[in-house]
Structures are given as C-alpha cells and as structure tokens.
C-alpha cells in the first residue's frame, strides 16, 4: 500500500484503479475486432474465452470480451432483457454522422433512436450491446 494513500474512516485507501470494462458475448473475437477498429485500439489478448483491446499507449481502461455461451442481447429500449450498462463514446459534433456511418460499416446496427437527440445516436454492437456516439 502506498505511503501517500488517502486516509478514509476505514483507514488508508488501497491502490485500486479502473482496469477493464468487460462485455459478455457469444463471440469474443468478433466483438474484439469490432471495437478494435471502431476505437483504433489494438487487440492485446486473444484467448478462447477472453479477448482484450487497449490503447496503443497502454493507458487504462481496457475493453475486454468474455465468452458467454448463453448470451442474450439486451432488448433496449423495452427492457425485457435489461441492458445493465452501455458505453458512451465521445465524437466531435461535426463528425457524428461520419462516426455513425463508420460504426455501421464495421457491423453496428441502429437501435431505436426515438429517445435520441442531435447530440447522440444509439447503436448496437455485433453482440447486441447498446452504445452511444455522443457529440462533444
């Protein structure tokens, strides 16, 4: 434990950092390839049941994909199968349309965008997970 760790009521805070966001999927290689191309990150880890993509500079967080043979895609927005999470990916405002088209060219599909505004678009990745492209 670091000597400079902040003190809390429970004592010093251990060194805990945010490492990975992990998505369940029935096809880890496909989802890793999709996000690698979408984000411009490299595939760092390739195993039968676990793939990881990360930035070239190795900065955290990483994005990992865990094999879940019984994976059921979320049914957003009806919530029959809850989404449980979604990713917000920032895009310059003037590139939102191009980023949306690029994501679709990689295999993303448009979600129900009745709740969207001109500042964000909701898409589904190849495993059906919703993610937003957000204009910044």
- In this prediction, residue 27 carries a pLDDT of 96
As given in the structure block, the two tokens for residue 54 are 């990360």
Percentage of the chain surpassing pLDDT 90? Answer: 65
CATH topology of domain 17-70: 2,3-Dihydroxybiphenyl 1,2-Dioxygenase; domain 1 (3.10.180)
- pTM comes to 0.77
- In this prediction, residue 65 carries a pLDDT of 95
Work out the average pLDDT over 95-106: 94
Architecture of domain 72-136 in CATH?
Answer: Roll (3.10)
Q: Start-end ranges of CATH 3.10.180.10 in the chain?
A: 17-70, 72-136
Phi, psi of 19 (to 5 degrees): -100, -60
CA pseudo-torsion sign 9, 13, 17, 23: negative
3-class SS of residue 73:
coil
Residue-wise pLDDT tens digits, 51-77? 999 999 999 899 999 999 999 888 888
Work out the average pLDDT over 87-111: 93
Percentage of the chain surpassing pLDDT 70? Answer: 90
As given in the structure block, the two tokens for residue 69 are 């043979």
């Amino acid at each position: 434990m670091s000597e400079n760790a902040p003190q809390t009521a429970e004592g010093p805070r251990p060194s805990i950092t945010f490492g990975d966001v992990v998505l369940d999927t029935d096809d880890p290689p496909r989802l890793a390839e999709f996000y690698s191309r979408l984000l411009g990150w490299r595939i760092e880890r390739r195993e039968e049941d676990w793939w990881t993509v990360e930035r070239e500079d190795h900065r955290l967080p990483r994005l990992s994909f865990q094999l879940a043979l019984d994976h059921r895609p979320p049914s957003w927005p009806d919530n029959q199968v809850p989404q449980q999470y979604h990713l917000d990916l920032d895009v310059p405002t003037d590139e939102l349309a191009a980023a949306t088209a690029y994501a679709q060219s990689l295999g993303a599909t448009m979600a129900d965008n009745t709740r969207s505004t001109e500042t964000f678009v909701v898409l589904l990745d190849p495993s059906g997970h919703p993610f937003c492209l957000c204009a910044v």
